[in-house]
Homo-oligomer: A and B are copies of this chain.
């Protein structure tokens, strides 16, 4: 070594120098990888130790969970007295039943008007109403002394129902909250029919009295009351929809009887028809009668499948977002 140090250094051949560098680089890479692997393994075991559950435990846990995957049961607030629920709702929505002014709802009028216009301009819709009316009038409810009933006029009118004001009150008896919607509907919703009263004695169809009737609703105003009915003892609740008894319902009846000589607009017939329709209307929907409207439960089977698919799509999208 010393001898070689004193002599003039031999020129190292280029090839062997390259080989040395090559060896050095290889060794460096080996060391680099070894260092990374040891540190990686160390960290892996540390992480596994501290954060992860071990394989054995995991397998046991997974098997256990798969076997008895218990569903989370949502906590339902303890039922409080129904009146308390109502006052809670009022305070949370900051609605003071005593002092809150009557609210207008012109935007809803516009929205309704748009929907109604759509139906009115839809010839398919009109045709199907006429079709159904025709079937019903000529169906098994038609008495034997009437000939076929022919619809001669049908119109859903030109105007729109107008909501004048909305107010929430407590209903008198039940202490439920009642939404009172004052509305007005001045229009010509018209149904015209033509038929004949048959004389079936002494033999069938011996003579017939042609009758043409046109019935229009010209004015309908009043207060629509929507009450959210809850029963303290049963879980069921529903919307009761009725018209308060200060309503106004005006009909116009045009009648034309007779074959050659015609009798027009018999006042007796008009009052008979309107009083019949009015009494059915009162029986059906004027308070204390009401239409019961169940709150949809969302969970028909078809509906549930739809919700499931919707959610699955959503999860997919979140995954790919």
**What are the residues of chain B within 8 A of A128 when measuring CB–CB?**
299, 304
| B52:A208 contact, CB within 8 angstroms | yes
Q: With an 8 A cutoff between CB atoms, is A315 at the interface?
A: yes
- Which parts of A197-217 form the interface with B (CB within 8 Å)? 198-199, 205-210
Smallest CB gap from A58: residue in B: B208
**What are the residues of chain B within 8 A of A130 when measuring CB–CB?**
71-74
**What are the residues of chain B within 8 A of A198 when measuring CB–CB?**
58
Smallest CB gap from A191: residue in B: B72
Q: Indicate how many identical chains form the complex.
A: 2
What is the bound-complex CA distance between A96 and B111, given in angstroms? 14
| B51:A258 contact, CB within 8 angstroms | yes
| A110:B136 contact, CB within 8 angstroms | no
The interface bits of chain A over 85-126 (1 if a CB of B lies within 8 angstroms of the residue's CB, else 0) are 110011011110000100111110111011101101111111
Q: With an 8 A cutoff between CB atoms, is A257 at the interface?
A: yes
- Which parts of A42-98 form the interface with B (CB within 8 Å)? 48-55, 58-59, 61-62, 65-66, 69, 71-77, 79, 85-86, 89-90, 92-95
Q: Which of B120, B153, B162 contacts A93 (CB 8 A)?
A: B162
Q: With an 8 A cutoff between CB atoms, is A168 at the interface?
A: yes
| B151:A72 contact, CB within 8 angstroms | yes
Q: With an 8 A cutoff between CB atoms, is A11 at the interface?
A: no
Smallest CB gap from A133: residue in B: B311
**What are the residues of chain B within 8 A of A53 when measuring CB–CB?**
196, 207-210, 259
What is the bound-complex CA distance between A92 and B125, given in angstroms? 23
What is the bound-complex CA distance between A125 and B137, given in angstroms? 42
A275 CB to nearest B CB, Å: 8
A148 CB to nearest B CB, Å: 5
What is the bound-complex CA distance between A234 and B180, given in angstroms? 38
Known: A77-B120, A283-B321. 15 other contacts (CB 8 A): A50-B260, A51-B257, A52-B209, A58-B205, A62-B208, A72-B154, A79-B121, A85-B117, A93-B109, A93-B113, A103-B105, A107-B168, A115-B295, A118-B295, A133-B311
A-B contact pairs, 12 of them (CB 8 A): A51-B209, A51-B262, A69-B138, A72-B153, A73-B130, A75-B155, A85-B121, A89-B160, A95-B106, A103-B105, A125-B298, A132-B308
Shortest beta-carbon contacts, A-B, top 6:
A51-B258, A50-B261, A74-B126, A58-B208, A72-B151, A52-B207
